[in-house]
């Protein structure tokens, strides 16, 4: 079992602190959702992990070996992102051939099926692809290369709803045929909520959440009822947000509930990952970023 470890990664661009002491461990056979608001540092982190840019401090290791300039280890990862690694004039077939020779093999059977399902014209040149098909082509590479760690940075960028659904179902199929590690950075939380096993939230360059989705959801509690009863019940709990609907109040709690008694007037249920994300990352809205403090 391979393990990808990110230790004490710090990155600044000029005087701007983009990543601050990021520590993460990615285990083989899991699907991680990497979430964060615009500018949180997700793409920077994925680029550092794959040696496309360098960290100011810290290191990235696979199975205890540093990946810097280490082709054997870098060949275990593929990062699909908005950044195009291929020249506009290159033919898609040639890119597949070159990628196959760098990574050692390529699942042509799966690629042929995906090319047909997505309706990709494989005889095109890379630069002629539409935004959606540019993503689709890179996703096909990501799914068909023999890597242990598949890093997807906004994988469905430009894909229509039909193609997004097709991609998610192919991702699950590919994962079940060949379990490996996926790290998916996306803003479409609801679309990946049922796919990911673990959730990581980056906020202003810091990891503020890193847990199995199941454990996270079990700690979400929506407490709904008359305002006074709800406020009384949630007193001392970690209330991260609220809604008012007339005289009815909903307090959103993240954390364990103790054995306090629930009044008959108050209802308890869980809430979803997207809501949790919004409340956890809203807290600094309008306030200065860490680097400005
Ligand atoms: N090459 C660069 N030079 C200067 N600043 C940069 C550079 N790359 C990224 N940044 C800054 O680093 C911060 C984090 O950017 P990054 O692209 O990693 O965020 P992100 O979480 O992927 O955002 P989004 O969801 O909007 O794509 C942003 O403030 C961005 O402007």
Ligand 1 within 6 A of 290 CB?
A: no
Mean pLDDT, rounded, for 146-165: 96
Q: What is the pLDDT of residues 115-143, one digit of tens each?
A: 999 999 999 999 999 999 999 999 999 99
CATH architecture of the domain with range 3-210: 3-Layer(aba) Sandwich (3.40)
The strand pair at 57-62 and 3-13 is best described as: antiparallel
Helix residue spans in 71-207 (DSSP H): 71-74, 92-103, 108-118, 131-144, 161-177, 189-192
Mean pLDDT, rounded, for 41-59: 96
Q: Is 193 exposed, middle or buried (0-12, 13-18, 19+ CB in 10 A)?
A: middle
Mean pLDDT, rounded, for 33-47: 97
Q: What is the mean pLDDT of the chain?
A: 93
Helix (H, G, I), strand (E, B) or coil at 135: helix
Ligand 1 within 6 A of 18 CB?
A: yes
What is the predicted pLDDT for the residue at 67? 96
Q: Residue 205 Cα, ligand 1 centroid: separation in angstroms?
A: 10
Q: What is the pLDDT of residues 204-227, one digit of tens each?
A: 999 999 999 999 999 999 999 999
What is the predicted pLDDT for the residue at 79? 96
Predicted confidence (pLDDT) at residue 48 exceeds the cutoff of 50: yes
Q: What residues pair up with 59 in beta bridges, in sequence order?
A: 7
Helix residue spans in 145-212 (DSSP H): 161-177, 189-192
Could you state, in order of their start, the residue ranges of all structural domains in the chain?
3-210, 219-292
What is the predicted pLDDT for the residue at 83? 85
Q: What is the CA radius of gyration of the chain?
A: 22
What is the predicted pLDDT for the residue at 293? 30
- Higher pLDDT, residue 289 or 195: 195
Predicted confidence (pLDDT) at residue 45 exceeds the cutoff of 70: yes
Residue 267: C-alpha distances to residues 221, 224, 279 (Å): 10, 5, 20
What pTM does this model have?
A: 0.92
Q: What is the pLDDT of residues 188-197, one digit of tens each?
A: 999 999 999 9
Of the candidates 122, 183, 109, the residue with the CA atom closest to the CA atom of residue 147: 183
Q: Give, for ligand 1, the residue of 10, 39, 188 to mutate: max count of ligand atoms closer than 8 Å to Cβ.
A: 39
Q: Summarize the chain as % helix, strand, coil (round to 5).
A: 35, 30, 35
Ligand 1 within 6 A of 42 CB?
A: yes
Can you list the positions of beta strands (E) in 196-247? 198-203, 206-212, 220-226, 239-245
């Amino acid at each position: 079992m391979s393990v990808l470890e990110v230790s004490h990664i710090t990155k600044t661009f000029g005087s701007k602190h983009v990543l601050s002491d990021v520590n993460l461990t990615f285990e083989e056979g899991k699907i991680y959702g990497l979430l964060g608001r615009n500018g949180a540092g997700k793409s920077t982190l994925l680029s550092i992990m794959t040696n496309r840019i360098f960290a100011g401090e810290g290191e990235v290791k696979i199975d205890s070996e540093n990946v810097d300039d280490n082709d054997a280890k870098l060949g275990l990862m593929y990062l699909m992102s908005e950044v195009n690694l291929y020249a506009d004039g290159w033919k898609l077939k040639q890119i597949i051939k070159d990628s196959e020779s760098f990574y050692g093999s390529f699942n042509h059977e799966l690629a042929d099926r995906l090319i047909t399902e997505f309706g990709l014209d494989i005889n095109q040149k890379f630069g002629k692809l539409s935004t959606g098909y540019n993503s689709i082509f890179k996703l096909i590479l990501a799914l068909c290369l023999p890597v242990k760690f598949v890093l997807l940075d906004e994988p469905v960028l430009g894909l229509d709803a039909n193609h997004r659904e097709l991609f998610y179902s192919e991702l699950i199929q590919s994962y079940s045929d060949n379990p490996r590690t996926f790290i998916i950075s996306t803003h479409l939380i609801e679309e990946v909520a049922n796919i990911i096993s673990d959730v990581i939230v980056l906020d202003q360059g810091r990891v503020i959440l890193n847990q199995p989705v199941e454990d996270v959801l079990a700690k979400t509690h929506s407490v709904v009822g008359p305002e006074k009863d709800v406020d009384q019940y949630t007193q001392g709990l970690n209330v991260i947000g609220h809604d008012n609907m007339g005289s009815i109040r909903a307090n959103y709690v993240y954390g364990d509930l103790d054995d306090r008694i629930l009044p008959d007037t108050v209802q308890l249920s869980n809430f979803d990952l997207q809501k949790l994300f919004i409340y956890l990352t809203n807290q600094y809205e309008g306030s200065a970023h860490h680097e400005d403090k």
